[in-house]
């Protein structure tokens, strides 16, 4: 396009961002994002202050590569997800792999989001061009299949192009490592090392001039077949007739889940047809996360029509699992279990199964924001209990792991097969448990009651505050540190642990833990993937005092909501 003449009113700072945008435009291989920048530059030339602001928003920062990889809105600019950024990330990751392995290899997967297949192919071509053996999965598949493939193919690394349960306009880039990392997601210092290589590529290379090659491999269906076989083995109970409704949330879960279920002997699965197949527009949900209000409305409607005994929901890349059970007291006719409730039951099941093995021992693990209930299970069955930082990159690395979870609907039930949360294997494990219970004439609701009777009553809840200005998160955390809370829900705060300097064996993280006089606990932390600050609330009482626990929990939540509101006023 013709050079844009800018006026003195733009100033030096604005001229710099215009120069940066032009340089980006010159290496952007995507017609859609090129058009975005061209339109903004034309608007700047016409004197639009808004267009200048948009350029600053797109280019003043860079989408940071960290232990969660990359994740952001698909748009042009260094602060967004696009082909330029992904190409730089692929080249940087290739340089990292070549530095640590004389014969590196990588497997690449992708889901059904916008540009996922494009980003995956860019990665494969750049890896092959750099001399890294690259294997592209045969089509869009769940994240757990990619995590499985890293170990199954014995490669150096894996990349999954997905934004998981983020808003429809987002996409992302998750990195796994093989070898000693056993197929887990990256942790520090690998993230910083990869990021340094990416930064160097961005500073020194035009992505259009990066070596590319189509000499990458495309995996056959044998990888998926192997995942299906291994995951079906999670079904250890005798299959019984179950009426189950399943939703893929417009994601990639249905094909793989239905195959695993059939292999496991579970045949009566009714899909939510409106959400059965991948659709990057996510037309029936405003936010494709099973935790969000309204996300399961179509599943409830399908379940009511089918008279279903159970609802299973995966998020769009099928690494998370949500469960709902019949409940006549609810308007929907079903009650969605919390992530903690599912975690309690699956953890209890893992402990019982381990107790029946000739070689006993192992560990149960959960993140610091998950319920303390799993610790009670571990103690009762003489197992190790490990608390980790939030994120499955930590949970999956616990030695001798039997089962691990985090309350955000992530579960690891077969760590010898997959070293990441897996919503499909967790669903099969839950179905196996339900089959066993049904054969004994026991419902899931009754199993939860039995858990409370054996281990105590645990009441958990959370408060999420979504912000539009990310600085609000730092403001709230700073205020909580500067003005320590003395009381929550009418209960004295006995102790405050600031985890930003590390705590015990935990590495530093931006989180606060409030321990109350009655044994209640509150965690506060910024979300790692969304513009939110989250508060996690846990109250424990003997089962006969469960009503008291609910009252205290509600009072704590009210106090936290008021604190958050004042901090952002």
In this structure, the number of other CB atoms found within 10 A of the CB of residue 472 comes to: 17
Tell me how long the chain is.
569
Q: Is 105 a catalytic residue?
A: no
543 within 8 A of 549, measured Cβ to Cβ: no
d(C-alpha 180, C-alpha 160), whole Å:
19
Residues 6+ positions from 49 with CB-CB distance below 8 Å? none
Active-site choice (164, 190, 338, 367): 164
Q: Which helix (H) or strand (E) holds 343?
A: helix 339-355
Closest-CA residue to 86 (of 170, 187, 198) = 198
Closest Cα to residue 525, out of 463, 569, 459? Answer: 463
Residue closest to 518 by CA, chosen among 480, 485, 481, 556? 556
Measured distance CA(541)–CA(337) in Å, rounded: 19
Burial 239-273 (b: 16+ CB within 10 A, else e): beebebbbbbbbbbbbbbbbbbbebbebeebbbbe
Q: Establish whether the linkage from the previous residue to 358 is cis, with ω within 30° of 0.
A: no
What residue has token string 């309690």? 344
Q: How far apart are CA 566 and CA 255, in angstroms?
A: 47
Q: Where are the beta strands (DSSP E) in 399-476?
A: 401-406, 410-412, 457-466
Report yes or no: 188 and 508 within 8 Å, Cβ to Cβ: no
Rounded to 5°, the CA angle 167-173-178 comes to 140
**CA-based diameter of the chain, in Å?**
80
Left (φ > 0), alpha (ψ -120 to 50) or beta: where does 164 sit? left
Question: Which residues, at least 6 apart from 357, have a Cβ–Cβ distance to it below 8 Å?
Answer: none
Nearest to 429 by CA among 235, 143, 148: 235
Helix (H, G, I), strand (E, B) or coil at 487: strand
Q: In angstroms, rounded to a whole number, what is the distance separating the alpha carbons of residues 290 and 295?
A: 5
Please write down the long-range contacts of 54-61, taking CB distance under 8 Å and 24 or more positions apart. Answer: 55/14, 55/17, 55/18, 55/21, 56/14, 56/17, 58/21, 59/17, 59/20, 59/21, 59/24, 60/17
Residue 399 contacts residue 363 (beta carbons within 8 Å): yes
Residues annotated as catalytic are 164
């Amino acid at each position: 396009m013709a050079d844009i003449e800018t006026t003195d009113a733009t100033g030096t700072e604005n001229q710099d961002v215009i120069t940066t945008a032009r340089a980006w435009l010159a290496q952007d291989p995507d017609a859609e994002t090129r058009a975005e920048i061209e339109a903004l530059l034309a608007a700047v030339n016409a004197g639009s202050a808004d267009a200048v602001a948009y350029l600053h928003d797109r280019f003043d920062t860079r989408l940071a590569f960290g232990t969660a990889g990359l994740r952001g809105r698909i748009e042009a600019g260094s602060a967004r997800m696009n082909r330029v950024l992904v190409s730089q990330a692929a080249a940087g990751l290739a340089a990292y792999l070549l530095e640590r392995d004389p014969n590196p290899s990588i497997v690449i997967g992708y889901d059904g989001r916008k540009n996922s297949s494009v980003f995956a192919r860019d990665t494969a071509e750049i890896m092959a061009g750099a001399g890294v053996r690259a294997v592209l999965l045969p089509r869009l598949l769940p994240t757990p299949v990619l995590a499985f493939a890293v170990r199954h193919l014995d490669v150096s690394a894996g990349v999954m192009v997905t934004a998981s349960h983020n808003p429809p306009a987002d996409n992302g880039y998750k990195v796994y490592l093989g070898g000693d990392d056993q197929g887990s997601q990256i942790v520090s210092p690998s993230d910083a090392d990869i990021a340094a290589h990416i930064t160097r590529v961005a500073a020194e290379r035009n992505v259009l001039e990066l070596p590319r090659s189509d000499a990458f491999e495309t995996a056959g269906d044998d990888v998926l077949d192997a995942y299906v076989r291994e995951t079906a083995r999670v079904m250890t109970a005798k299959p019984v007739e179950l009426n189950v409704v399943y939703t893929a949330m417009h994601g990639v879960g249905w094909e793989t889940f239905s195959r695993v279920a059939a292999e496991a002997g579970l045949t009566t699965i009714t899909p939510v047809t409106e959400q059965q197949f991948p659709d990057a527009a996510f037309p029936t949900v405003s936010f494709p996360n099973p935790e969000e209000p309204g996300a399961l409305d179509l599943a409830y409607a399908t379940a009511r029509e089918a008279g279903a005994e159970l609802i299973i929901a995966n998020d769009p890349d099928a690494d998370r699992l949500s469960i709902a059970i019949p409940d006549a007291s609810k308007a929907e006719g079903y009650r969605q279990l919390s992530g903690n409730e599912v975690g309690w039951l699956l953890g209890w099941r893992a402990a019982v199964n381990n107790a029946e093995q000739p070689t006993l021992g192992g560990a149960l693990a959960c993140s610091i924001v998950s319920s303390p209930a799993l610790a009670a299970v571990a103690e009762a069955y003489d197992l190790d209990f490990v608390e980790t930082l939030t994120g499955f990159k930590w949970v999956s690395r616990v030695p001798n792991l039997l089962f691990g979870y985090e309350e955000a609907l992530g579960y690891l039930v077969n760590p010898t097969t997959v070293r990441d949360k897996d919503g499909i294997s967790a669903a099969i494990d839950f179905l196996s448990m339900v089959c066993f219970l049904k054969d004994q004439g026991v419902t899931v609701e009754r199993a939860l009651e039995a858990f409370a009777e054996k281990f105590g009553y645990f009441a958990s809840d959370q408060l999420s505050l979504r912000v539009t200005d990310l600085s609000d998160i730092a403001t709230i955390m700073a205020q909580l540190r500067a003005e320590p809370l003395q009381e929550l829900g009418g209960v004295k705060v006995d102790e405050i642990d600031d985890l930003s300097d590390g705590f015990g064996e935990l590495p530093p993280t931006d989180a606060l833990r409030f321990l109350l006089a009655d044994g209640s606990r509150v965690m506060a932390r910024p979300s790692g993937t969304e513009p939110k600050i989250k508060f996690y609330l846990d109250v424990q009482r003997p089962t006969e005092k469960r009503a008291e626990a609910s009252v205290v929990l509600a009072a704590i939540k009210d106090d936290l909501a008021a604190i958050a509101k004042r901090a952002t006023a």
